Structure 1
Amino acid sequence: MNDALTYVVTTNGLLFLLSFIFWKFPPKKINSLYGYKTPKAMLNQQIWDFANSTFNNSLLIYAGISFIAGLFFATFVKAELTWQPMAFVFLSVIVSIVKTERALTDNFTDEGKKKK
């Protein structure tokens, strides 16, 4: 395996693996160790379940795209890879957080009640 491919597998591949684990084994109860933990997400169990489901689905999709894009760059782009795979990782996480927070705002009030 060349250095670029190793770099992509250890960054983007690891994120994809973790996103799959989070998707397959979401946290059952509100806790401080495992799951999507923001103050709004931890207001009650209904929001916790919704936030973790939304975040895990988004992260799985965007981490998969990130991994494929990183593999594409490592395989077909002849330039040296430095920051690009890590930028894909960063963007995957940021987009997943933004989408989850937007979904929480659209579906729940600030007090933790479901919007109609």
Structure 2
Amino acid sequence: MNPFYYVLSINGLLFVLSVIFYFFPPKKINAIYGYRTYKSMLNQDIWQFTNSFFAKQFLIYSAISLVAALFIVYLNPKISWQPMALMLLSLAVSIIKTEQTITKVFDNEGNRK
């Protein structure tokens, strides 16, 4: 498989999903679409804040992941696990930053601090 196709299928797909989440955020709390954790689903205020914040973080880090993976492929076309690692890292960083921000902004009952 062409390494550029591999990067576009892994990191490019992640970037496309982040654009979809950014431009089409979920309106109401649901069990299908959006950033769904116990904390994010406590009330509508947390839901909207969390999905907005996560979409921005996800867009930023998935774009960085895509550019970095393309750069790695440009330097060394014989890649294997690096684009997948970048994809997982960008997703993990987005989730961790979102959870940290929820904890800073909201208390355990779902009220703003």
Q: TM-score when scaled to structure 2?
A: 0.97
Match of 2:66 in 1: 67
Q: Does 1:110 align with 2:108?
A: yes
Q: Who is 1:56 aligned against?
A: 55
Distance in 1, matches of 2:75 and 2:82, equals 14
Q: How many residues align?
A: 113
SS of equivalent residue, structure 2 residue 34: coil
Query: 2:85 aligns to what?
Result: 87
2:94 corresponds to: 96
Which residue type is aligned with residue 106 of structure 1? K
**1:76: how far off?**
2.0
Q: CA RMSD in A?
A: 0.9
Gaps spanning 5+ residues in structure 2: where? none
Between the aligned partners of 1:39 and 1:76, the Cα distance in structure 2 is: 42
Q: Which residue of 2 aligns with 1:45?
A: 44
Paired residue for 2:8?
A: 9
Cα distance in structure 2, aligned partners of 1:42 and 1:57: 18
Q: Secondary structure at the match of 2:39?
A: coil
CA–CA distance in structure 2, aligned partners of residues 67 and 73 of structure 1 = 10
TM-score, normalised by the number of residues in structure 1: 0.95
